[in-house]
Every structure is written in structure tokens, then in C-alpha cells.
């Protein structure tokens, strides 16, 4: 329970912890230089207790003002806030401490003068800068944990899709159909049969051995071509495919199997919903730092029966996997759409701020 509360308010706990250490350090310093006596001990304890209480509003102010500036990406404002707190914070804290001592302690306290503020400011300003540094380090720690969790989720999703690909590719129907096609070609066209065997070997090598989270567009398309060539042999005149890829983006890294899943869905559901020949079109283009990947097929869009249901054939899982992986890797710099236009089903992925 304490751990859950800490992770909910990490800034407050970290800054308060550092503040406690600073106050304790100042108390120990006073004890080291003050002759031991009960009255002196009480004075040190109470004065530092009130000082701690006076620092707490500044802790909240630092947390909320810094987060407000960071959320709006105002770096200059953030630096100005640090300077303002370091310059004016000591005076406010000293005034509040004196007021608390006068009000709650019923003890005669020396008034706050310019000389007192001048002596108090360096140590207090240093404490405030320590709190600012603690805020910054806490933010770095939170960002690191978020990135680590995102990477872990991305790797989990990658393994999940690889497992699904493995299950599909080893499907007896797929394998038997390809083997039957090879058997028929052995006597009719031996060269074509040999080519198909090589393509199957290369294709299986890619789908079964690749463990990378990301891969170049060039390699992903190479595997897709081998997959489509196998389907071409399988469906013969009922199947056709076209691929258009900008050579300039060949080395751009994308999540592995993303294009492949889209093409697989296009073949799988295109064959079920087409009226005539199934045509698959794959295009990958880059313009104005935007990478646009489109997979289109003749046929109709198969929709889930309800918003919270997946398609019985499994397309929902594949699409959700794609969107989750893109969200983890690109954040808000991606968009995905699946539409039907004039007898074509079009799956589009748009990745923004992509540099070549």
C-alpha cells in the first residue's frame, strides 16, 4: 500500500525526504556548535520544526509550478521559476518561520531584518536549489520507468505477434497448399518449383528467426514479396499484387511484421469477400517528414459485430497489436485507418516526424 501511494505522489515524497535530510543536517550542525543544555536543545528542535513546516508550502509550489511549465514546454519559464524561488524564497520562508514561532511558541523572537535575511538567504537558497534538483532527478527517474515499461510492452507485443505468425505459418492448410503447388510444378515447370522452394525457405527463415523489435522497410518488404509470391503460385490467375516503395526510405526502421500483418489480412479477407480477381497493392512513400504506408485489396471490409468484440477470424487482434506497437514506439506521431472505398479495402499507417 505504501509503495502504491509513493508511486502516485513521487515528487512530494522525494522532495519532502530531501527536505527532512537538509533540516536534520542543519540541526546537527547547530548541535555541534552549541553548548549542550536543555533550553538550547528545545530552541534548536522547535525552530527547525517550524522551519520545516515553512518549507512545505514551497515544496508544493515547486512541484506544481515546475510541472505546469514542463507540460507547456516552457523551458525559459522553468529556469525563471528556479531563479525566483532561489532569490525570493528565503525571505518568504524566514517570514513564515518567524510568524509560526511567534504565534505557536509564545516565545520572544527577534524581528526579521535585512541583516537577518542576508545571513539566512545563502543556506536557504541552496536548500531550494537542492529541492529543484530533486524534482528534476525525480522527473528523469519517472521518464526512465515509463520508457522501460514501454519497451517491455513493445517487446511483449512483438513476441505475441511473432507467435501468432508462427502459428499461422505452420498451419497445415497453408503448408499443404504450398507443397501441393510445388508438387504440381515439379513436372510442369521445374525451375519455377525450385524458385518457390527457395522463396519458401527464405520466407520461413524470416518469420521464424527474426526477434528484432524493429526492422528496415527494405527487409520487411522483401519478406512480404516472398509471401505474396507464394500466394501467387497458390491462387494463380485469381491473384495479383503490386508493390511501390520509395527507395529513399529503404533503411527507415519500422516495427517488425507490421506491414506483413496488413498484407496477410488483405490476402485472408480479400479472398473471402472479393467478387473477381484479388489484387493486393502495397505502397510506402515519404514526404514532408511523413511516412505513409498503404496496403489495399479488392473486396469488402469485415467489421466486428460490436465495438468491444474482435472478429471471429482474428483480424481484430492483429489490428490492435499494430496500433498498440505504433503507439508505444511513436506516441502521438502516428495514425492508423482501415476504410473501404469503391470496392477497395485500404489500411493506412501514417508516421510523422520521420527523418531520412
- Looking at the predicted structure, is the pLDDT value of residue 253 above 50? yes
Do residues 192 and 62 both lie within one domain?
no
pLDDT for res 313: 46
Residue 200 sits in which domain range? 170-352
Contact 277, 237 (CB under 8 A): yes
- Residue 13 CB burial class (10 angstroms; 0-12, 13-18, ≥19): middle
- Looking at the predicted structure, is the pLDDT value of residue 314 above 50? no
Domain-embedded: residue 162: no
Distance CA(285)–CA(295), nearest Å, equals 12
What does residue 253 show for φ and ψ, rounded to 5 degrees? -85, 135
Least confident of 101-110, 244-253, 311-320: 311-320
Q: Residue 303: helix, strand or coil by DSSP?
A: coil
Distance CA(31)–CA(169), nearest Å, equals 75
pLDDT for res 177: 64
Do residues 184 and 321 both lie within one domain?
yes
Do residues 286 and 251 both lie within one domain?
yes
Distance CA(176)–CA(126), nearest Å, equals 75
Residue 185: name the closest of 268, 177, 271 by CA. 177
Q: Which residue has the cell 506544481?
A: 64
pLDDT for res 275: 82
Cβ partners under 8 Å of residue 145, min gap 6? none
Do residues 141 and 180 both lie within one domain?
no
Distance CA(115)–CA(94), nearest Å, equals 12
Q: Residue 269: helix, strand or coil by DSSP?
A: helix
Calculate mean pLDDT across residues 92-109: 84
Cβ partners under 8 Å of residue 77, min gap 6? 69
The confidence band for 282, taking pLDDT boundaries of 50, 70 and 90, is: very high
Calculate mean pLDDT across residues 194-210: 73
The confidence band for 309, taking pLDDT boundaries of 50, 70 and 90, is: very low
- Looking at the predicted structure, is the pLDDT value of residue 294 above 90? yes
Q: Residue 320: helix, strand or coil by DSSP?
A: helix
Calculate mean pLDDT across residues 43-68: 91
Q: Which residue has the cell 527463415?
A: 205
Of 97, 117, 148, the position where a domain reaches its end is 148
What is the model's pTM?
0.53
Domain-embedded: residue 232: yes
Which of 8-22, 24-38, 297-311, 313-327 ranks highest by mean pLDDT?
Answer: 8-22
Distance CA(176)–CA(157), nearest Å, equals 29
pLDDT for res 308: 47
Least confident of 150-154, 221-225, 295-299: 150-154
Calculate mean pLDDT across residues 270-285: 91
Do residues 229 and 343 both lie within one domain?
yes
In tens, the pLDDT along 145-157 reads: 888 888 777 777 7
Calculate mean pLDDT across residues 88-101: 90
Higher pLDDT, 83 or 156: 83
Calculate mean pLDDT across residues 286-308: 81
Domain-embedded: residue 308: yes
Domain total in the chain: 2
- Looking at the predicted structure, is the pLDDT value of residue 39 above 90? no
> Per DSSP, what are the bridge partners of residue 255?
214
Do residues 211 and 122 both lie within one domain?
no
pLDDT for res 307: 42
- Looking at the predicted structure, is the pLDDT value of residue 171 above 70? no
Q: Tell me, what DSSP letter sits at residue 333?
A: S
pLDDT for res 27: 86
The confidence band for 54, taking pLDDT boundaries of 50, 70 and 90, is: very high
DSSP sequence for 89-101? HHHHHHHHHHHHH
Amino acid at each position: 500500500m505504501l509503495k502504491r501511494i509513493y508511486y502516485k505522489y513521487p515528487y512530494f515524497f522525494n522532495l519532502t525526504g530531501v527536505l527532512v535530510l537538509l533540516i536534520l543536517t542543519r540541526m546537527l550542525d547547530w548541535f555541534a556548535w552549541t553548548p549542550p543544555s536543555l533550553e538550547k536543545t528545545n530552541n534548536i528542535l522547535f525552530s527547525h520544526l517550524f522551519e520545516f513546516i515553512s518549507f512545505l508550502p514551497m515544496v508544493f509550489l515547486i512541484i506544481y509550478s515546475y510541472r505546469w511549465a514542463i507540460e507547456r514546454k516552457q523551458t525559459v519559464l522553468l529556469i525563471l521559476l528556479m531563479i525566483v524561488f532561489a532569490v525570493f524564497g528565503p525571505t518568504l520562508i524566514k517570514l513564515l518561520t518567524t510568524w509560526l514561532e511567534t504565534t505557536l511558541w509564545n516565545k520572544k523572537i527577534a524581528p526579521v531584518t535585512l541583516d537577518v535575511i542576508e545571513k539566512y538567504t545563502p543556506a536557504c537558497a541552496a536548500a531550494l536549489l537542492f529541492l529543484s534538483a530533486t524534482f528534476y532527478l525525480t522527473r528523469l527517474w519517472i521518464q526512465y520507468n515509463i520508457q522501460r515499461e514501454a519497451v517491455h510492452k513493445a517487446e511483449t507485443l512483438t513476441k505475441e505477434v511473432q507467435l501468432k505468425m508462427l502459428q499461422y505459418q505452420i498451419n497445415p492448410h497453408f503448408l499443404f497448399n504450398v507443397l501441393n503447388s510445388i508438387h504440381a510444378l515439379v513436372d510442369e515447370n521445374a525451375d519455377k518449383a525450385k524458385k518457390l522452394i527457395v522463396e519458401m525457405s527464405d520466407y520461413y527463415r524470416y518469420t521464424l528467426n527474426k526477434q528484432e523489435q524493429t526492422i528496415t522497410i527494405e527487409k520487411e518488404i522483401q519478406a512480404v514479396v516472398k509471401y505474396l509470391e507464394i500466394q501467387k503460385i497458390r491462387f494463380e490467375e485469381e491473384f495479383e499484387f503490386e508493390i511501390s516503395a520509395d527507395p529513399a526510405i529503404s533503411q527507415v526502421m519500422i516495427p517488425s511484421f507490421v506491414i506483413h500483418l496488413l498484407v496477410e489480412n488483405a490476402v485472408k479477407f480479400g479472398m473471402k469477400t472479393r467478387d473477381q480477381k484479388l489484387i493486393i497493392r502495397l505502397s510506402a512513400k515519404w514526404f514532408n517528414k511523413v511516412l505513409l504506408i498503404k496496403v489495399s485489396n479488392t473486396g469488402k471490409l469485415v467489421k466486428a459485430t460490436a465495438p468491444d468484440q474482435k472478429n471471429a477470424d482474428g483480424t481484430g487482434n492483429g489490428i490492435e497489436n499494430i496500433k498498440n506497437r505504433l503507439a508505444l514506439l511513436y506516441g502521438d506521431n502516428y495514425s492508423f485507418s482501415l476504410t473501404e472505398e469503391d470496392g477497395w479495402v485500404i489500411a493506412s499507417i501514417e508516421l510523422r516526424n520521420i527523418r531520412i
